[in-house]
Amino acid sequence: MVCYNFMPVVDWTRTNLLYPTPVGGLALRFDMIDFIAYDVFVLKRAAAEDSYDAELVEAARKRLAGMSEEDVQTLEKNIIAGLPGGEDSHTREAIRTHIAAFDDLSDDDMRSNLVDFLKEVVPVAVENNVRLAIHPDDPPFSLFGLPRVVSKADDIETIFAAVDHTANGITLCAGSYGSRHGNDVVELASRFAERIHFAHLRNVSKEPDGSFIEAEHLGGDVNMVSLISLLRREERRRAAVGRTDSIIPMRPDHGHLLIDDQTKTVNPGYSCIGRLKGLAELRGVIAAVDQLDVRAA
């Protein structure tokens, strides 16, 4: 199983890597106002202001005015200088150049490129007994005006229609899809259950302006109990029809910085204690829904 993504220039992006939680942990957060402040007034991307509602731009202008130079440097580091989703590190001028290379590429162009890629790669995957699991955009909306084409149900339909084979599947990242207003993650999982090859189980709490915080695994906006119950039913269905890929690999994706992990150097989102706590909670849910399903049968 190969998990891959189709996000240009920036991978998964957050504005705050150490956001305090009410119980003493530190979480990842994407703050839309902070991001706009950086894009429009710090990076000064060409035509950046046109990408956002005027009220949000004005809020970003006021937010930036209250930031110290150290605050701005930390924000920049979080967004581009140490991209949490990748190993690359960009300077301000370098990322402007990378973004500008996509100025003439529309969402439709990017989608066409993805379809061309799938038509070439999926047949090879089939020949080699490989399952492809595309990861959604994170966040699942445009950043820096860049095209993003794996963000909602219609995008998944396009991917599957490009090459209609089981090997052409998805990574169900509950936190990524759950970060977009209008995405019902449980409904989405039900609709595309047959093609889920990998599950990233994490949770988010959204705000009206597009901001979100990575919540505890059993907190947030995604009904994790319903989602896990659905995935377990799909695993049993696959086993019953003889699919060799009946088990859907799962990971407790991301986790809060807890206890002494806060004093260690860890990759953002990948602390040991926070993810181990999430794993324990998720395994507890799995055991519970399995018992309920056995009784119902």
Active-site positions read: 135, 173, 200, 253-254, 270
Q: What integer pLDDT is reported at residue 295 of this predicted model?
A: 77
Rounded to whole angstroms, what are the CA distances from 203 to 7, 160, 181?
A: 21, 25, 14
Report the CATH number at residue 116: 3.20.20.150
Q: Is the pLDDT of residue 179 over 90?
A: yes
* pLDDT reading at 88 higher than 70: no
Q: Is the pLDDT of residue 147 over 60?
A: yes
Predicted confidence at residue 123, as pLDDT, reads 97
- The answer on pLDDT for 84 being more than 60 is no
With contact defined as beta carbons under 8 Å apart, do 168 and 197 qualify?
no
pLDDT in tens, 35-64: 999 999 999 999 999 999 999 999 999 999
Lowest mean pLDDT among 59-63, 75-79, 107-111, 290-294: 290-294
Residue 86 has pLDDT above 70, yes or no: no
Question: In which residue are the tokens 């609709």 written?
Answer: 191
| Count of domains forming the chain | 1
pLDDT grade, residue 293 (50/70/90)?
A: confident
Q: What would you report as the CA-atom Rg of the chain, rounded to the nearest whole angstrom?
A: 20
Residue 11 confidence class, pLDDT cut points 50, 70, 90: confident
pLDDT of residue 296: 74
Find out whether 191 and 153 touch, Cβ atoms under 8 Å. Answer: yes
The label of the residue with tokens 């202001």 reads 49
pTM over 0.75: yes
> Among 59-63, 92-96, 160-164, where is mean pLDDT lowest?
92-96
Count helices and strands in the chain by DSSP H and E runs: 10, 9
| Domain extent for 159 | 2-296
Mean pLDDT of all residues in 142-150: 96
Task: Report H helices in the chain.
Answer: 32-36, 54-65, 69-76, 92-100, 107-127, 153-162, 174-178, 185-191, 224-240, 272-296
Q: Residue 225: which region, alpha, beta or left (left: phi > 0; alpha: psi -120 to 50)?
A: alpha
Percentage of the chain exceeding pLDDT 70: 97
What pLDDT, in 10s, does the model give residues 107-138?
Answer: 999 999 999 999 999 999 999 999 999 999 99
- Indicate the average pLDDT of the chain: 94
